[in-house]
Amino acid sequence: MAGYRVAVVGATGAVGRTLVQVLAERSFPVSDLKLYATERSVGTGIRFGNELLEVRRLDEGELDGTEFAFFCATAEVSRRLAPRLASRGTVVIDKSSHFRMDPGVPLIVPEVNAEALRHHAGIISSPNCSTIQVVVAVNPIHLMSPVRRMVVATYQAVSGTGLDGVDELSRQSRAALEGAEASGSVYPRRIAFNVIPQIDAFEPSGFTGEEMKLVRETRKIMGDEGIKITATCVRVPVFHCHSEAVILETRDPLDANEVLEQLEKAPGVRLSRGESGYHTPAECAGRDEVFVSRVRQDPCLENGLSMWVVADNLRKGAATNAVQIAECIAGR
**Contact positions toward a second copy, by CB under 8 A?**
149-151, 153, 155, 169-170, 173-174, 177, 188-190, 193-198, 202, 205-207, 215, 228-230, 232, 234, 236-239, 243, 245, 247, 275-276, 278, 280-283, 293-301, 304, 306, 308
Q: How far is the CB of 327 from a second copy (least distance, A)?
A: 31
Task: Tell me if residue 129 is catalytic.
Answer: yes
Q: What is residue 30's three-state secondary structure?
A: strand
Q: How far is the CB of 140 from a second copy (least distance, A)?
A: 19
Q: How far is the CB of 227 from a second copy (least distance, A)?
A: 9
State how far the Cα of 100 lies from the Cα of 217, in Å rounded to an integer.
7
User: 52 or 300: whose CB is closer to a second copy?
Assistant: 300
State how far the Cα of 266 lies from the Cα of 270, in Å rounded to an integer.
8
Task: Tell me if residue 328 is catalytic.
Answer: no
Assess contact for 289 and 316: CB atoms under 8 A. Answer: yes
User: 88 or 228: whose CB is closer to a second copy?
Assistant: 228
Catalytic residue among 72, 120, 129, 279: 129
Q: How many CB atoms lie within 10 A of CB 232?
A: 16
Catalytic residue among 120, 240, 242, 279: 242
3-state secondary structure labels for all residues of 272-323: CCCHHHCCCHHHHCCCCCEEEEEEEEECCCCCEEEEEEEECCCHHHHHHHHH
Q: How far is the CB of 166 from a second copy (least distance, A)?
A: 10
User: 145 or 230: whose CB is closer to a second copy?
Assistant: 230
Pairing between β-strand 304-311 and β-strand 242-250 as defined by DSSP bridges: antiparallel
User: 49 or 162: whose CB is closer to a second copy?
Assistant: 162
State how far the Cα of 137 lies from the Cα of 172, in Å rounded to an integer.
34
Catalytic residues: 129, 242
